[in-house]
């Protein structure tokens, strides 16, 4: 039987930015302070082409050597969920941030070793800091 991993997201309203560009800048600065590297920024709504009438969406990919070293060597399949993708979007005039639940990574590792658990704890704390940077 094959195990399926469906990532779940925590979504929060953004209160400290006027638009997606400002939110992305705030998030990028906070991420770098917390030890992440901005691997990529994807303004997904621009990729949709002419005539797109949906919500504005920007995804930031955050890479962290601490995560890669601490998790990939334990379970290479976790690379499917790295780098971490944080999504900023606008829906009905409201700016929001969506971050992956850390328990996804815990489930992938089954019973994380103490070292892996420390990395997951770091990830959870830093994600909370990043969310608070935008939400207040």
Q: Please, what are the averages of pLDDT over each run of 10 residues along the chain (136 residues)?
A: 63 94 95 93 79 84 85 83 90 91 83 87 93 94
Model pLDDT, residue 7: 60
* Domain parsing of the chain, residue ranges: 9-135
Torsion angle of alpha carbons 7, 78, 80, 8, nearest 10°?
10
- Residues 53/27, Cβ–Cβ less than 8 Å: no
Model pLDDT, residue 1: 47
Which has the closest alpha carbon to 30: 51, 16, 47?
16
In Å, what is the CA distance from 37 to each residue of 33, 34, 109, 114, 134? 9, 9, 23, 25, 18
Architecture per CATH, domain 9-135, reads as 2-Layer Sandwich (3.30)
Model pLDDT, residue 5: 54
CA distance 113 to 125: 18
Model pLDDT, residue 37: 92
Model pLDDT, residue 134: 96
The enclosing H or E element of 38 equals: strand 37-43
């Amino acid at each position: 039987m094959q195990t399926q991993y469906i990532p779940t997201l925590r979504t929060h309203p953004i209160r400290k930015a006027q638009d997606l560009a400002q939110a992305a800048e705030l998030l990028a600065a906070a991420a770098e302070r917390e030890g992440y590297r901005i691997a990529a920024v994807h303004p997904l709504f621009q990729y949709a082409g002419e005539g797109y009438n949906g919500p504005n969406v920007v995804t930031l990919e955050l890479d962290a050597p601490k995560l890669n070293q601490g998790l990939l060597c334990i379970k290479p399949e976790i690379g499917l969920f790295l780098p971490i993708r944080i999504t900023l979007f606008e829906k009905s005039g409201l700016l929001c941030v969506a971050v992956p639940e850390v328990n996804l990574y815990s489930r992938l590792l089954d019973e994380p070793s103490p070292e892996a658990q420390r990395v997951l704890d770091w990830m959870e704390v830093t994600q909370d800091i990043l969310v608070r940077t935008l939400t207040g």
